A and B are shown apart, each in its own frame.
Chain A
Amino acid sequence: MKSNFILKSLRALLYLIVLGLTGCSIGPAVQPWEKETLARPEMTFGGDKLDTGYTEHIYSSKEAASGGSGVGGGGCGCN
Protein backbone atom coordinates (compact mmCIF):
# COMPACT_ATOMS: atom_id res chain seq x y z
CA MET A 1 0.00 0.00 0.00
CA LYS A 2 1.41 3.37 -0.93
CA SER A 3 0.68 4.96 2.43
CA ASN A 4 2.62 2.22 4.20
CA PHE A 5 5.52 2.72 1.88
CA ILE A 6 5.60 6.44 2.50
CA LEU A 7 5.32 6.05 6.26
CA LYS A 8 8.09 3.48 6.21
CA SER A 9 10.29 5.82 4.21
CA LEU A 10 9.64 8.61 6.69
CA ARG A 11 10.47 6.27 9.55
CA ALA A 12 13.72 5.27 7.87
CA LEU A 13 14.66 8.91 7.44
CA LEU A 14 13.93 9.61 11.09
CA TYR A 15 16.00 6.64 12.25
CA LEU A 16 18.84 7.74 10.03
CA ILE A 17 18.90 11.18 11.58
CA VAL A 18 18.55 9.80 15.10
CA LEU A 19 21.42 7.45 14.34
CA GLY A 20 23.55 10.37 13.27
CA LEU A 21 22.63 12.30 16.39
CA THR A 22 23.49 9.49 18.72
CA GLY A 23 27.11 9.44 17.72
CA CYS A 24 27.56 7.47 14.55
CA SER A 25 29.35 10.18 12.65
CA ILE A 26 30.15 9.58 9.03
CA GLY A 27 33.82 10.14 9.70
CA PRO A 28 36.17 11.56 12.32
CA ALA A 29 35.19 14.66 14.28
CA VAL A 30 35.06 17.72 12.05
CA GLN A 31 37.81 20.22 12.87
CA PRO A 32 37.26 23.98 13.13
CA TRP A 33 39.20 24.65 9.92
CA GLU A 34 36.89 22.27 8.04
CA LYS A 35 33.75 24.26 8.83
CA GLU A 36 33.77 26.79 6.04
CA THR A 37 30.86 25.08 4.27
CA LEU A 38 28.94 24.59 7.51
CA ALA A 39 29.18 28.33 8.14
CA ARG A 40 27.32 29.18 4.94
CA PRO A 41 23.82 30.55 5.56
CA GLU A 42 22.15 27.74 3.61
CA MET A 43 23.77 25.16 5.89
CA THR A 44 22.17 26.57 9.05
CA PHE A 45 18.68 25.70 10.28
CA GLY A 46 17.65 29.31 10.72
CA GLY A 47 16.71 30.22 7.20
CA ASP A 48 14.99 33.40 6.12
CA LYS A 49 13.12 34.47 9.24
CA LEU A 50 10.43 36.55 7.55
CA ASP A 51 9.82 33.85 4.95
CA THR A 52 9.53 31.20 7.69
CA GLY A 53 7.20 33.48 9.65
CA TYR A 54 4.78 33.87 6.74
CA THR A 55 4.94 30.23 5.74
CA GLU A 56 4.39 28.78 9.22
CA HIS A 57 1.52 31.19 9.81
CA ILE A 58 -0.20 30.15 6.57
CA TYR A 59 0.18 26.44 7.26
CA SER A 60 -1.02 26.74 10.86
CA SER A 61 -4.18 28.44 9.62
CA LYS A 62 -4.95 25.76 7.00
CA GLU A 63 -3.83 22.54 8.71
CA ALA A 64 -4.32 21.02 12.14
CA ALA A 65 -0.64 20.51 12.92
CA SER A 66 1.80 23.28 13.76
CA GLY A 67 5.04 23.98 15.56
CA GLY A 68 8.06 21.76 16.01
CA SER A 69 10.93 24.09 15.24
CA GLY A 70 10.73 26.41 18.21
CA VAL A 71 8.76 27.82 21.07
CA GLY A 72 7.21 31.21 21.62
CA GLY A 73 5.62 33.34 18.98
CA GLY A 74 2.11 34.66 19.15
CA GLY A 75 -1.04 32.74 18.53
CA CYS A 76 -3.78 33.98 16.28
CA GLY A 77 -7.45 33.57 15.74
CA CYS A 78 -6.90 31.84 12.46
CA ASN A 79 -7.14 28.24 13.64
Chain B
Amino acid sequence: MTSITKTTSNVVSAAIVTAAMALPSLQFAYADSAPERGIVSFKYLNYQDSQGSLSQYSSSSSSSTSTSTSSSGNVHSERENDNNAIWIDTISGATAVATSTATTPTVVTPKTLSTSTSSTAHDRISVNAYSVMALVPIAGVWSFGTTYISDSVSGASPTYHTSGLTTMHDARQAVDAQLTRYFSSGNVSAGTSYSKESDYLSRSYSLQGSLSTEDKNTTFTLGGSLTDDTINPSTMPNLNAKKTTHAGLIGITRVLSKNDIVQLNLGYSEGEGYYSDPYKYYDNRPGHRNNTTALARWNHHFEGTDGTVHLSYRYYSDTFGIRAHTLDTEYVQPLQNGWAVTPLLRLYTQNEADFYIATGAAEKADPTVITAPPQSATYYSEDQRLSAMGALTVGLKVSKQLNHDWLVDAKVEFYEQRSQWALSGKADTALAPFSARSIQLGISREF
Protein backbone atom coordinates (compact mmCIF):
# COMPACT_ATOMS: atom_id res chain seq x y z
CA MET B 1 0.00 0.00 0.00
CA THR B 2 1.19 3.41 -0.77
CA SER B 3 2.42 5.38 2.14
CA ILE B 4 0.89 8.74 2.27
CA THR B 5 1.75 12.13 3.44
CA LYS B 6 -1.55 13.62 4.31
CA THR B 7 -2.05 17.18 3.40
CA THR B 8 -2.79 18.87 6.62
CA SER B 9 -3.41 22.14 5.01
CA ASN B 10 -4.74 24.73 7.35
CA VAL B 11 -6.68 26.17 4.51
CA VAL B 12 -9.93 25.00 5.66
CA SER B 13 -9.44 23.68 9.09
CA ALA B 14 -11.58 26.51 10.31
CA ALA B 15 -14.11 25.84 7.64
CA ILE B 16 -14.26 22.16 8.51
CA VAL B 17 -15.03 22.96 12.09
CA THR B 18 -17.82 25.17 10.91
CA ALA B 19 -18.97 22.48 8.52
CA ALA B 20 -19.39 20.08 11.37
CA MET B 21 -22.29 22.26 12.38
CA ALA B 22 -23.75 22.21 8.93
CA LEU B 23 -27.04 20.51 8.49
CA PRO B 24 -27.71 18.45 5.46
CA SER B 25 -28.68 20.51 2.52
CA LEU B 26 -28.75 23.22 -0.15
CA GLN B 27 -27.99 24.81 -3.43
CA PHE B 28 -27.22 28.33 -4.53
CA ALA B 29 -28.30 31.35 -2.63
CA TYR B 30 -29.98 34.09 -4.58
CA ALA B 31 -33.18 34.81 -6.49
CA ASP B 32 -35.36 36.77 -4.15
CA SER B 33 -38.33 36.65 -6.45
CA ALA B 34 -39.91 34.40 -9.02
CA PRO B 35 -38.51 34.76 -12.54
CA GLU B 36 -40.50 37.19 -14.67
CA ARG B 37 -40.11 35.20 -17.86
CA GLY B 38 -40.00 31.55 -18.70
CA ILE B 39 -37.04 30.06 -20.48
CA VAL B 40 -36.34 27.02 -22.62
CA SER B 41 -32.75 26.02 -23.42
CA PHE B 42 -31.11 23.31 -25.45
CA LYS B 43 -27.46 22.34 -25.33
CA TYR B 44 -25.34 19.84 -27.23
CA LEU B 45 -22.06 18.47 -25.90
CA ASN B 46 -19.31 16.69 -27.77
CA TYR B 47 -16.51 15.36 -25.59
CA GLN B 48 -13.41 13.39 -26.46
CA ASP B 49 -10.57 12.37 -24.19
CA SER B 50 -7.26 10.72 -24.89
CA GLN B 51 -4.31 9.31 -23.07
CA GLY B 52 -0.76 8.79 -24.18
CA SER B 53 1.59 6.02 -23.31
CA LEU B 54 4.75 7.06 -21.58
CA SER B 55 7.85 6.85 -23.68
CA GLN B 56 9.46 4.61 -21.09
CA TYR B 57 6.96 1.99 -22.11
CA SER B 58 8.01 2.03 -25.70
CA SER B 59 11.06 -0.12 -25.19
CA SER B 60 9.02 -2.95 -23.81
CA SER B 61 6.47 -2.84 -26.52
CA SER B 62 5.82 -5.85 -28.59
CA SER B 63 4.17 -4.08 -31.46
CA SER B 64 4.44 -0.50 -32.45
CA THR B 65 1.28 -0.66 -34.42
CA SER B 66 -0.94 -1.59 -31.57
CA THR B 67 -2.75 1.52 -30.54
CA SER B 68 -3.86 0.33 -27.17
CA THR B 69 -3.94 -2.57 -24.86
CA SER B 70 -6.94 -4.30 -26.19
CA SER B 71 -8.72 -6.33 -23.68
CA SER B 72 -12.13 -7.29 -22.55
CA GLY B 73 -14.04 -10.45 -22.17
CA ASN B 74 -16.92 -11.03 -19.90
CA VAL B 75 -15.95 -7.98 -17.95
CA HIS B 76 -19.01 -6.03 -18.70
CA SER B 77 -21.79 -6.49 -21.14
CA GLU B 78 -21.00 -3.05 -22.37
CA ARG B 79 -17.47 -4.11 -23.15
CA GLU B 80 -17.06 -5.95 -26.32
CA ASN B 81 -15.00 -9.00 -27.05
CA ASP B 82 -12.10 -8.81 -29.33
CA ASN B 83 -9.25 -11.04 -30.33
CA ASN B 84 -6.88 -9.89 -27.65
CA ALA B 85 -9.30 -10.53 -24.90
CA ILE B 86 -8.03 -10.73 -21.42
CA TRP B 87 -10.29 -12.32 -18.93
CA ILE B 88 -11.46 -10.58 -15.90
CA ASP B 89 -13.34 -13.49 -14.51
CA THR B 90 -15.85 -12.47 -12.00
CA ILE B 91 -17.85 -14.51 -9.65
CA SER B 92 -21.56 -14.03 -9.95
CA GLY B 93 -22.86 -12.37 -6.89
CA ALA B 94 -21.02 -10.46 -4.29
CA THR B 95 -18.63 -11.08 -1.49
CA ALA B 96 -18.98 -9.08 1.65
CA VAL B 97 -15.73 -7.43 2.56
CA ALA B 98 -14.58 -6.76 6.06
CA THR B 99 -17.05 -4.79 8.04
CA SER B 100 -18.24 -2.73 5.17
CA THR B 101 -20.93 -3.34 2.66
CA ALA B 102 -18.42 -3.14 -0.14
CA THR B 103 -18.30 -6.01 -2.53
CA THR B 104 -15.72 -6.93 -5.06
CA PRO B 105 -15.33 -9.26 -7.96
CA THR B 106 -12.61 -11.82 -7.76
CA VAL B 107 -10.01 -10.91 -10.29
CA VAL B 108 -8.06 -13.45 -12.23
CA THR B 109 -4.77 -12.48 -13.72
CA PRO B 110 -5.07 -11.79 -17.40
CA LYS B 111 -3.77 -14.46 -19.66
CA THR B 112 -2.84 -12.48 -22.67
CA LEU B 113 -2.39 -8.84 -23.23
CA SER B 114 -1.09 -6.74 -26.02
CA THR B 115 0.52 -3.55 -24.99
CA SER B 116 0.42 0.00 -25.98
CA THR B 117 3.67 1.08 -27.40
CA SER B 118 3.35 4.42 -28.96
CA SER B 119 4.16 7.55 -27.07
CA THR B 120 1.40 9.47 -28.75
CA ALA B 121 -2.02 10.02 -27.31
CA HIS B 122 -4.87 7.72 -28.22
CA ASP B 123 -8.53 8.44 -28.10
CA ARG B 124 -10.29 6.94 -25.12
CA ILE B 125 -13.83 7.96 -24.29
CA SER B 126 -16.11 10.00 -26.47
CA VAL B 127 -19.44 11.44 -25.40
CA ASN B 128 -22.32 12.97 -27.30
CA ALA B 129 -24.99 14.50 -25.12
CA TYR B 130 -28.15 16.54 -25.51
CA SER B 131 -29.93 18.38 -22.76
CA VAL B 132 -33.02 20.52 -22.51
CA MET B 133 -34.06 22.79 -19.69
CA ALA B 134 -37.33 24.61 -19.04
CA LEU B 135 -38.13 27.09 -16.31
CA VAL B 136 -41.68 28.34 -15.97
CA PRO B 137 -42.93 31.04 -13.58
CA ILE B 138 -46.31 30.26 -12.10
CA ALA B 139 -48.69 32.84 -10.63
CA GLY B 140 -45.89 35.21 -9.74
CA VAL B 141 -44.77 33.35 -6.62
CA TRP B 142 -43.88 29.91 -7.91
CA SER B 143 -41.52 28.48 -10.46
CA PHE B 144 -41.13 25.02 -11.92
CA GLY B 145 -37.88 23.94 -13.51
CA THR B 146 -36.96 20.73 -15.23
CA THR B 147 -33.94 19.34 -17.08
CA TYR B 148 -33.61 16.32 -19.30
CA ILE B 149 -30.29 14.92 -20.47
CA SER B 150 -29.44 12.05 -22.76
CA ASP B 151 -25.88 10.99 -23.35
CA SER B 152 -24.07 8.31 -25.23
CA VAL B 153 -20.63 7.24 -24.05
CA SER B 154 -18.26 4.96 -25.90
CA GLY B 155 -14.59 4.18 -26.21
CA ALA B 156 -11.90 2.52 -24.17
CA SER B 157 -11.21 2.62 -20.48
CA PRO B 158 -8.25 1.27 -18.44
CA THR B 159 -8.72 -1.69 -16.10
CA TYR B 160 -5.70 -0.77 -13.97
CA HIS B 161 -3.64 2.41 -13.80
CA THR B 162 -3.57 3.71 -17.35
CA SER B 163 -3.32 0.30 -19.00
CA GLY B 164 -5.38 -2.74 -19.83
CA LEU B 165 -7.99 -1.04 -21.94
CA THR B 166 -11.43 -2.45 -22.47
CA THR B 167 -13.88 -1.04 -24.92
CA MET B 168 -17.22 0.06 -23.61
CA HIS B 169 -20.33 1.94 -24.53
CA ASP B 170 -23.28 3.04 -22.53
CA ALA B 171 -26.17 5.46 -22.64
CA ARG B 172 -27.50 7.53 -19.79
CA GLN B 173 -30.77 9.33 -19.42
CA ALA B 174 -31.49 11.67 -16.57
CA VAL B 175 -34.29 13.99 -15.60
CA ASP B 176 -34.70 16.37 -12.70
CA ALA B 177 -37.39 18.76 -11.53
CA GLN B 178 -37.63 21.51 -8.93
CA LEU B 179 -40.61 23.38 -7.57
CA THR B 180 -39.86 26.68 -5.85
CA ARG B 181 -42.08 28.97 -3.79
CA TYR B 182 -40.91 32.57 -3.39
CA PHE B 183 -41.63 34.74 -0.37
CA SER B 184 -40.81 38.35 0.33
CA SER B 185 -37.66 37.40 2.22
CA GLY B 186 -36.62 34.10 0.72
CA ASN B 187 -37.70 30.91 -1.00
CA VAL B 188 -38.21 27.21 -0.47
CA SER B 189 -37.45 24.65 -3.14
CA ALA B 190 -38.07 20.91 -3.42
CA GLY B 191 -36.40 18.85 -6.09
CA THR B 192 -36.00 15.34 -7.36
CA SER B 193 -33.81 13.66 -9.94
CA TYR B 194 -33.59 10.33 -11.67
CA SER B 195 -30.71 8.94 -13.69
CA LYS B 196 -30.48 5.61 -15.49
CA GLU B 197 -27.66 3.72 -17.17
CA SER B 198 -27.59 0.06 -18.09
CA ASP B 199 -25.83 -0.79 -14.84
CA TYR B 200 -26.59 2.18 -12.60
CA LEU B 201 -29.79 3.70 -11.31
CA SER B 202 -29.84 6.83 -9.18
CA ARG B 203 -32.70 8.64 -7.46
CA SER B 204 -32.31 11.81 -5.49
CA TYR B 205 -34.54 14.09 -3.43
CA SER B 206 -33.61 17.49 -2.13
CA LEU B 207 -35.06 20.33 -0.11
CA GLN B 208 -33.60 23.76 0.37
CA GLY B 209 -34.54 27.14 1.68
CA SER B 210 -33.04 30.59 1.71
CA LEU B 211 -33.66 33.62 3.86
CA SER B 212 -32.55 37.18 3.16
CA THR B 213 -32.05 40.08 5.52
CA GLU B 214 -34.34 43.07 5.15
CA ASP B 215 -31.87 45.01 3.02
CA LYS B 216 -31.41 41.90 0.82
CA ASN B 217 -27.67 42.23 1.15
CA THR B 218 -27.20 38.95 3.02
CA THR B 219 -28.82 35.63 2.19
CA PHE B 220 -28.56 32.43 4.19
CA THR B 221 -29.21 29.12 2.50
CA LEU B 222 -29.74 25.68 3.93
CA GLY B 223 -30.39 22.49 2.05
CA GLY B 224 -30.33 18.73 2.30
CA SER B 225 -30.57 15.77 -0.03
CA LEU B 226 -30.94 12.03 -0.06
CA THR B 227 -29.55 9.99 -2.95
CA ASP B 228 -30.36 6.34 -3.43
CA ASP B 229 -28.35 4.37 -6.00
CA THR B 230 -28.59 0.80 -7.23
CA ILE B 231 -25.69 -0.81 -9.07
CA ASN B 232 -25.94 -3.94 -11.21
CA PRO B 233 -22.69 -4.40 -13.10
CA SER B 234 -23.12 -6.36 -16.30
CA THR B 235 -20.65 -8.88 -14.95
CA MET B 236 -22.83 -9.33 -11.88
CA PRO B 237 -26.33 -8.45 -13.07
CA ASN B 238 -27.98 -9.69 -9.90
CA LEU B 239 -25.66 -7.90 -7.52
CA ASN B 240 -28.21 -5.23 -6.67
CA ALA B 241 -25.62 -3.27 -4.72
CA LYS B 242 -26.81 -0.12 -2.98
CA LYS B 243 -25.31 3.23 -2.25
CA THR B 244 -27.09 5.77 -0.08
CA THR B 245 -25.85 9.32 0.36
CA HIS B 246 -27.11 12.02 2.71
CA ALA B 247 -25.81 15.49 1.97
CA GLY B 248 -26.23 18.88 3.54
CA LEU B 249 -25.08 22.36 2.67
CA ILE B 250 -25.15 25.69 4.44
CA GLY B 251 -24.38 28.88 2.62
CA ILE B 252 -24.16 32.60 2.99
CA THR B 253 -24.22 35.10 0.15
CA ARG B 254 -23.37 38.72 0.75
CA VAL B 255 -23.40 41.89 -1.30
CA LEU B 256 -20.22 43.79 -0.52
CA SER B 257 -20.65 46.72 -2.84
CA LYS B 258 -22.62 47.57 -5.95
CA ASN B 259 -19.91 45.71 -7.89
CA ASP B 260 -19.05 42.85 -5.53
CA ILE B 261 -20.90 39.81 -4.29
CA VAL B 262 -19.39 36.88 -2.37
CA GLN B 263 -20.62 33.48 -1.31
CA LEU B 264 -19.41 30.75 1.03
CA ASN B 265 -20.94 27.27 1.01
CA LEU B 266 -20.00 24.53 3.43
CA GLY B 267 -21.10 21.04 2.53
CA TYR B 268 -21.02 17.69 4.22
CA SER B 269 -22.04 14.36 2.79
CA GLU B 270 -22.19 10.85 4.23
CA GLY B 271 -22.40 7.89 1.93
CA GLU B 272 -22.64 4.19 2.52
CA GLY B 273 -22.67 1.27 0.15
CA TYR B 274 -20.84 0.08 -2.93
CA TYR B 275 -17.92 2.29 -4.00
CA SER B 276 -15.69 -0.19 -5.80
CA ASP B 277 -15.30 -0.17 -9.56
CA PRO B 278 -16.49 -3.60 -10.73
CA TYR B 279 -14.74 -3.24 -14.09
CA LYS B 280 -11.23 -2.76 -12.75
CA TYR B 281 -8.59 -5.15 -11.51
CA TYR B 282 -7.73 -5.05 -7.85
CA ASP B 283 -10.39 -2.61 -6.81
CA ASN B 284 -11.85 -2.95 -3.35
CA ARG B 285 -12.83 0.30 -1.70
CA PRO B 286 -14.26 1.06 1.72
CA GLY B 287 -18.02 0.80 2.08
CA HIS B 288 -18.48 4.34 3.21
CA ARG B 289 -17.30 7.70 2.03
CA ASN B 290 -17.91 10.99 3.81
CA ASN B 291 -16.79 14.27 2.38
CA THR B 292 -16.56 17.90 3.37
CA THR B 293 -16.47 20.81 0.96
CA ALA B 294 -15.91 24.51 1.38
CA LEU B 295 -16.64 26.65 -1.64
CA ALA B 296 -15.91 30.36 -1.73
CA ARG B 297 -16.97 32.47 -4.72
CA TRP B 298 -16.50 36.08 -5.57
CA ASN B 299 -17.97 38.00 -8.52
CA HIS B 300 -16.59 41.43 -9.28
CA HIS B 301 -17.74 43.85 -11.95
CA PHE B 302 -15.26 46.24 -13.56
CA GLU B 303 -16.93 49.51 -14.46
CA GLY B 304 -14.07 50.45 -16.74
CA THR B 305 -14.44 47.50 -19.09
CA ASP B 306 -18.03 46.56 -18.19
CA GLY B 307 -16.61 43.06 -17.67
CA THR B 308 -17.19 40.68 -14.76
CA VAL B 309 -14.72 38.31 -13.17
CA HIS B 310 -15.80 35.11 -11.39
CA LEU B 311 -13.32 33.72 -8.90
CA SER B 312 -13.97 30.55 -6.95
CA TYR B 313 -12.02 28.22 -4.74
CA ARG B 314 -13.16 24.84 -3.46
CA TYR B 315 -11.56 22.70 -0.80
CA TYR B 316 -12.58 19.05 -0.74
CA SER B 317 -11.72 16.41 1.82
CA ASP B 318 -13.02 12.87 2.21
CA THR B 319 -12.59 9.69 4.21
CA PHE B 320 -10.78 7.99 1.32
CA GLY B 321 -7.93 10.34 2.24
CA ILE B 322 -8.42 12.64 -0.75
CA ARG B 323 -7.72 16.34 -0.26
CA ALA B 324 -8.36 18.48 -3.32
CA HIS B 325 -8.09 22.14 -4.22
CA THR B 326 -9.90 23.70 -7.15
CA LEU B 327 -9.43 27.25 -8.38
CA ASP B 328 -11.77 28.50 -11.05
CA THR B 329 -11.62 31.85 -12.80
CA GLU B 330 -13.52 33.26 -15.72
CA TYR B 331 -14.00 36.71 -17.13
CA VAL B 332 -17.17 37.75 -18.94
CA GLN B 333 -16.60 40.57 -21.41
CA PRO B 334 -19.71 41.97 -23.12
CA LEU B 335 -19.04 43.38 -26.59
CA GLN B 336 -21.14 45.27 -29.11
CA ASN B 337 -24.30 43.93 -30.76
CA GLY B 338 -25.11 41.40 -28.04
CA TRP B 339 -21.83 39.52 -28.24
CA ALA B 340 -19.94 38.39 -25.13
CA VAL B 341 -16.73 36.43 -24.72
CA THR B 342 -15.74 34.49 -21.60
CA PRO B 343 -12.23 33.04 -21.29
CA LEU B 344 -11.79 30.64 -18.39
CA LEU B 345 -9.01 28.95 -16.46
CA ARG B 346 -9.34 26.14 -13.93
CA LEU B 347 -6.63 24.63 -11.75
CA TYR B 348 -7.13 21.42 -9.81
CA THR B 349 -4.96 19.26 -7.60
CA GLN B 350 -5.52 16.25 -5.36
CA ASN B 351 -3.42 13.82 -3.37
CA GLU B 352 -3.95 10.08 -3.66
CA ALA B 353 -6.47 7.98 -1.73
CA ASP B 354 -5.11 6.11 1.30
CA PHE B 355 -5.59 2.80 -0.48
CA TYR B 356 -4.27 3.76 -3.92
CA ILE B 357 -1.73 1.23 -5.22
CA ALA B 358 0.97 2.95 -7.25
CA THR B 359 2.47 1.39 -10.36
CA GLY B 360 5.08 -1.15 -9.30
CA ALA B 361 8.59 -1.51 -10.72
CA ALA B 362 7.69 -4.55 -12.80
CA GLU B 363 4.68 -2.80 -14.31
CA LYS B 364 6.79 0.25 -15.09
CA ALA B 365 9.11 -1.95 -17.12
CA ASP B 366 6.28 -3.84 -18.74
CA PRO B 367 2.77 -2.42 -18.47
CA THR B 368 1.22 -5.84 -18.96
CA VAL B 369 2.48 -6.91 -15.55
CA ILE B 370 -0.23 -5.75 -13.20
CA THR B 371 0.95 -4.59 -9.81
CA ALA B 372 -0.69 -6.67 -7.12
CA PRO B 373 -1.69 -5.02 -3.84
CA PRO B 374 0.18 -6.18 -0.74
CA GLN B 375 -1.31 -9.24 0.93
CA SER B 376 -2.08 -7.22 4.03
CA ALA B 377 -4.12 -4.58 2.24
CA THR B 378 -7.83 -4.64 3.02
CA TYR B 379 -8.67 -1.89 0.59
CA TYR B 380 -6.94 -1.18 -2.68
CA SER B 381 -7.50 0.50 -6.02
CA GLU B 382 -5.41 1.18 -9.10
CA ASP B 383 -7.88 3.71 -10.45
CA GLN B 384 -5.93 6.69 -11.82
CA ARG B 385 -8.70 8.99 -10.60
CA LEU B 386 -7.69 8.16 -7.03
CA SER B 387 -4.01 8.97 -7.63
CA ALA B 388 -2.18 12.18 -6.78
CA MET B 389 -2.41 14.56 -9.72
CA GLY B 390 -3.07 18.02 -10.96
CA ALA B 391 -5.13 19.31 -13.84
CA LEU B 392 -5.48 22.42 -15.93
CA THR B 393 -8.44 23.58 -18.02
CA VAL B 394 -8.48 26.48 -20.43
CA GLY B 395 -11.61 27.43 -22.28
CA LEU B 396 -13.52 30.07 -24.15
CA LYS B 397 -17.23 30.71 -24.37
CA VAL B 398 -18.79 33.02 -26.93
CA SER B 399 -22.42 34.06 -26.76
CA LYS B 400 -24.70 36.31 -28.74
CA GLN B 401 -28.00 37.77 -27.67
CA LEU B 402 -29.81 37.75 -31.01
CA ASN B 403 -32.76 39.82 -29.83
CA HIS B 404 -34.98 40.25 -26.78
CA ASP B 405 -35.82 36.54 -26.76
CA TRP B 406 -33.06 34.45 -28.31
CA LEU B 407 -29.54 33.66 -27.11
CA VAL B 408 -26.99 31.36 -28.74
CA ASP B 409 -23.65 30.26 -27.32
CA ALA B 410 -20.66 28.06 -28.06
CA LYS B 411 -17.95 26.90 -25.70
CA VAL B 412 -14.71 25.00 -26.14
CA GLU B 413 -12.53 23.62 -23.35
CA PHE B 414 -9.20 21.82 -23.19
CA TYR B 415 -8.25 19.74 -20.16
CA GLU B 416 -4.92 18.17 -19.21
CA GLN B 417 -4.27 15.96 -16.19
CA ARG B 418 -0.81 14.88 -15.03
CA SER B 419 0.54 13.11 -11.96
CA GLN B 420 3.54 15.46 -11.97
CA TRP B 421 1.19 18.37 -11.33
CA ALA B 422 0.10 17.10 -7.93
CA LEU B 423 0.85 19.74 -5.30
CA SER B 424 0.69 17.25 -2.47
CA GLY B 425 0.79 13.51 -1.96
CA LYS B 426 2.93 11.00 -3.78
CA ALA B 427 2.75 11.26 -7.54
CA ASP B 428 2.62 7.98 -9.45
CA THR B 429 4.71 9.23 -12.33
CA ALA B 430 4.21 6.07 -14.37
CA LEU B 431 0.66 7.17 -15.14
CA ALA B 432 0.30 8.52 -18.64
CA PRO B 433 -0.93 12.11 -19.01
CA PHE B 434 -4.64 12.42 -19.72
CA SER B 435 -6.26 15.08 -21.87
CA ALA B 436 -9.74 15.97 -23.02
CA ARG B 437 -11.53 18.54 -25.09
CA SER B 438 -15.18 19.43 -25.09
CA ILE B 439 -17.41 21.54 -27.28
CA GLN B 440 -20.82 22.85 -26.30
CA LEU B 441 -23.40 24.48 -28.53
CA GLY B 442 -26.47 26.05 -26.99
CA ILE B 443 -29.59 27.95 -27.86
CA SER B 444 -32.02 29.50 -25.48
CA ARG B 445 -35.31 31.35 -25.70
CA GLU B 446 -37.17 33.44 -23.15
CA PHE B 447 -40.94 33.72 -23.14
Q: Which residues of A approach B to under 8 Å, CB–CB?
A: 3, 6-7, 10-11, 13-14, 16-18, 20-21, 25-27, 29-30, 32, 34-38, 40, 42-46, 48-51, 53-55, 58-59, 62-77, 79
B117 within 8 A of A: no
B26 near A65 (CB under 8 angstroms)?
Answer: no
Check A45/B195 contact, CB under 8 A, given A30-B255, A64-B324.
no
Report the bound CA distance from A70 to B206 in whole Å: 10
B296 near A51 (CB under 8 angstroms)?
Answer: no
A3: which of B197, B413, B423 is its contact (CB, 8 Å)? B423
B364 within 8 A of A: no
Report the bound CA distance from A77 to B273 in whole Å: 13
Check A30/B217 contact, CB under 8 A, given A38-B261, A71-B224, A76-B197.
yes
- Which residues of chain A are within 8 angstroms of B206 by Cβ–Cβ distance? 71-73
Q: Which residues 130-165 of B have a CB within 8 angstroms of A?
A: 131, 133, 147, 149
B193: which of A36, A62, A74 is its contact (CB, 8 Å)? A74
CB of A29, distance to nearest CB on chain B (Å)? 6
Report the bound CA distance from A77 to B260 in whole Å: 39
A18 near B296 (CB under 8 angstroms)?
Answer: yes
CB of A48, distance to nearest CB on chain B (Å)? 7
B332 near A64 (CB under 8 angstroms)?
Answer: no
B256: which of A25, A35, A46, A77 is its contact (CB, 8 Å)? A25
Q: Which residues of B approach A to under 8 Å, CB–CB?
A: 9-12, 14-15, 24-31, 41-43, 45, 47, 49, 129, 131, 133, 147, 149, 170, 172, 174, 176, 191-195, 197, 199-200, 202-206, 208, 215-217, 223-225, 227, 229, 231, 243, 245, 247-249, 252-265, 267, 269, 291, 293-299, 301, 308, 310-311, 313-316, 318, 320, 322, 324-327, 332, 340, 348, 350, 353, 385-386, 391, 397, 409, 411, 413, 415, 417, 423-424, 434, 436, 438, 440, 442
B249: which of A10, A14, A16, A70 is its contact (CB, 8 Å)? A70
- Which residues of chain A are within 8 angstroms of B424 by Cβ–Cβ distance? 3
- Which residues of chain A are within 8 angstroms of B259 by Cβ–Cβ distance? 37-38
A74: which of B194, B260, B348 is its contact (CB, 8 Å)? B194
Report the bound CA distance from A56 to B245 in whole Å: 18
- Which residues of chain B are within 8 angstroms of A40 by Cβ–Cβ distance? 301, 308
Q: How many pairs, one residue from A and one from B, have CB atoms within 8 Å of each other in the complex? A: 251
CB of B441, distance to nearest CB on chain A (Å)? 11
Report the bound CA distance from A75 to B65 in whole Å: 38
A62 near B195 (CB under 8 angstroms)?
Answer: no
- Which residues of chain B are within 8 angstroms of A11 by Cβ–Cβ distance? 9-11
A63 near B391 (CB under 8 angstroms)?
Answer: yes
Check A51/B43 contact, CB under 8 A, given A7-B11, A73-B176.
yes
B247: which of A63, A64, A65, A71 is its contact (CB, 8 Å)? A71
A73 near B326 (CB under 8 angstroms)?
Answer: no
B297: which of A45, A49, A62 is its contact (CB, 8 Å)? A45
A75 near B314 (CB under 8 angstroms)?
Answer: no
Report the bound CA distance from A57 to B14 in whole Å: 29
Q: Which residue of A lies closest to B223 (CB)?
A: A71
B174 near A75 (CB under 8 angstroms)?
Answer: no
CB of A25, distance to nearest CB on chain B (Å)? 5
Report the bound CA distance from A66 to B325 in whole Å: 11
- Which residues of chain B are within 8 angstroms of A66 by Cβ–Cβ distance? 316
Q: Which residue of A lies closest to B195 (CB)?
A: A74
CB of A74, distance to nearest CB on chain B (Å)? 3
Which one of B27, B257, B295, B438 has the highest number of Cβ atoms from chain A below 10 Å of its Cβ? B257
Known: A51-B411, A74-B193, A75-B204; 6 extra A-B contacts, CB below 8 A, are: A14-B12, A14-B294, A43-B261, A48-B41, A50-B41, A72-B223
- Which residues of chain B are within 8 angstroms of A25 by Cβ–Cβ distance? 254, 256-257
A74 near B263 (CB under 8 angstroms)?
Answer: no
14 contacts between A and B (CB under 8 A): A14-B12, A20-B262, A34-B258, A38-B259, A48-B442, A49-B41, A53-B149, A64-B322, A69-B27, A70-B249, A72-B191, A72-B193, A74-B176, A77-B200
